[in-house]
Amino acid sequence: MRQGSGRNTRQTTGTSKKPRKLFSSAESVLVGKDLSAIWGRKGIRALLMIMPVVLLLVVPVVYFVAISLLPAPLGSQLPASLQAVLGKTEEGYSQFWADAFTTLLCPVLFLMVPIICSVASASCAFVGEKESGTLETLFLSSVNPKSLFSAKITACSLISVIISLIAFVIFSITTSIVDLLLSAPYFLNLEWLITVFLLMPALSLFSVTFVSLVLARVYSVGESLQTMGYLILPFLILYLIQFTGVFRVTPLLLIALAVVLATLSIILYNISSRKFNAEYLMEHRAEE
């Protein structure tokens, strides 16, 4: 009886299915290759390193130094509309403008980082290989085009999210020091948490899939990088409207934006993956 039970146990164990991996070994290799290719391109690497530093370190430092050193104008009054938007009426001059900057404007500076990183990396991974002719070589390999497409989307989104998180850590350290020195309200709130952990990843994925969708219509990395403006402008307008005092970006709105972007990313991914093949790209090139 014991021997029979042991054989049954071994048979059951031997026939049990292994859990499916998120990525195959080939896709993992492709992700690593694309990450190396993106980071190895000097112009793209410089853009990925410099822009986050400028947006989330240089600009805030210059602003904080200005409001700290420049004296408040005599008889100046804080804008009542902005006070209503922020919901605070008892802050000092420097504290108020530090709070307004980190609450109303810095989020859009932060969201520019995933857009820039996603578009730059996707331009290199998709358009750059198409421009150099290596994309056609990959289509001739044994790798499934869908696996190739999935690996490129993953690599571009991953590098965008990682750089954005690093940039946010640097911004958090700088802003925390300033808040302490100015005795201003601590900047981190629910809106920031939703922006960093929900909206930013969704925006990164959407930006990458957006570039992949226009792959057949662009023929150079420089031309592809111009799509940044289309993605940045709506968020810039959304956050700048807050300074009019008639509108405030709320946590519910941020969650809704994240859900919409994630849904659109899935739709664009499915559309782009079906078009990501040599036949479609060659046909479109012939039409041009």
Amino acid at site 275: K
Beta carbons of 39 and 45 less than 8 angstroms apart: yes
φ and ψ at residue 192, rounded to 5 degrees: -65, -40
The H or E element containing residue 31 is: helix 25-40
pTM of the model: 0.88
| pLDDT tens per residue across span 39-87 | 999 999 999 999 999 999 999 999 999 988 877 776 667 788 888 888 8
Closest to 126 (Cα-Cα) out of 266, 287, 234, 276: 276
| pLDDT tens per residue across span 13-48 | 444 455 556 667 777 888 999 999 999 999 999 999
Cα–Cα distances (Å) from 102 to 147, 171, 185, 195, 207, in that order, read 41, 10, 10, 13, 24
Read off the DSSP letter of residue 279.
H
